[in-house]
Amino acid sequence: MTSVLVYACAGIALLCIGLLALLCSHHVLRKVLALNVMGSGVFMMLVALAARAPQPDPVPHGMVLTGIVVAVSATALALALLIRMHRDSGSALLPEDRSR
């Protein structure tokens, strides 16, 4: 069990935890946080697999940096939409989750 395998499996575990939280949470802010956890899991897996070579491979590191930028802008867009929905309807839950 090499250390690369431990980190890669931890990345997959974070991805699965985030996916579960995204699908099962009611509050939309929790869904946005779950997406960020999923992103962290994907990036950890990328960096772990880049460390297998004797000199760490720079291409997956470039992918991680691009992914971080994309995740930040996507989170900003999601938060803007959430604020607008809360302002319009008074609730931070999607309509299908609001009945309870």
Partner 1 sequence: MSSGAGAWVVAAFAAPIAGATLALFAGPRAARWFGALGSVASALITGALVATIAAHGPLRYAIAGWGAPLGIDFYVDGLAAVMLAMTSIVGLVVSVYALGYFGRAAGHESERNWLFWPLWLMLWGGLNALYLSADLFNIYVALELIGMAAVALVALAGGSAVVAALRYLLLALAGSLLYVVGVELLYASHAI
Cβ neighbours of residue 98 closer than 8 Å, sequence gap 6 or more? 91
Q: Whole-number minimum distance, CB 48 to partner 1, in Å?
A: 10
Q: Whole-number minimum distance, CB 78 to partner 1, in Å?
A: 5
Q: Which is nearer to partner 1, 6 or 77 (CB)?
A: 77
Q: Whole-number minimum distance, CB 45 to partner 1, in Å?
A: 6
Q: Whole-number minimum distance, CB 18 to partner 1, in Å?
A: 8
Q: List interacting residues with partner 1 (CB under 8 A).
A: 15, 19, 22, 28, 31-32, 35, 38-39, 42, 45-46, 49, 52-53, 57-60, 62-63, 66-67, 70, 73-74, 77-78, 81-82, 84-85, 88-89, 94-95
Kindly report the length of the chain. 100
Instruction: Give the HSE-up count for residue 68: Cα atoms under 13 Å, Cβ half-sphere.
Output: 10
Q: Which of 89, 39, 97, 28 is nearest to 67 (CA)?
A: 39
Output the six-digit token pair for 76. Answer: 């900003």
- Torsion angle of alpha carbons 87, 73, 35, 26, nearest 10°? 0
Q: Which is nearer to partner 1, 9 or 22 (CB)?
A: 22
